[in-house]
Amino acid sequence: MNIVVLLISILLFFVLFFGIGFILNMILRMTWIMAIIYPIVAILIIDKVRFLDYFTDSKHAFVELGHRFSSLASADIIILVSGLAGAIASGITIKLLRKNGYQMF
């Protein structure tokens, strides 16, 4: 992966999940909602197994998920971690804004 593509992907994932988390925090008033939802989103991004297979054929689905996690490149891991950092940063930002007296909706 080209370094420019990596940097743009890191920034894109951070801003994307920060924005989604910030909006969800404002609407639902649950500070850490995106940080809780993000691992599910990351699994859906990584895995090729249907979501329903986690309930119907659990063993195969989780074994396949383990193989997919172990075969991730370091650039992919960095990009996914930056998305998690964006989700956590949105929670911290909302907490600070609420502490300073701002109320959204």
User: What's the average model confidence in pLDDT over 89-98?
Assistant: 91
pLDDT tens digit sequence for 54-81: 899 899 999 999 999 999 999 999 999 9
pLDDT given for residue 105 in this prediction = 60
Tell me the C-alpha distance between 44 and 40, whole Å: 6
pLDDT tens digit sequence for 14-56: 999 999 999 988 888 888 888 899 998 888 889 888 888 889 9
Provide CB contacts within 8 A for 60, sequence distance 6+: 49, 53
pLDDT given for residue 45 in this prediction = 87
pLDDT given for residue 59 in this prediction = 92
Sketch the domain layout of the chain as residue ranges: 3-99
In the predicted structure, residue 86 carries a pLDDT above the cut 90 = yes
C-beta separation of 45 from 91 below 8 A: no
Three-class SS state of 44: helix
87 backbone φψ class: left, alpha, beta (φ>0; ψ -120 to 50): alpha
Tell me the C-alpha distance between 100 and 95, whole Å: 9
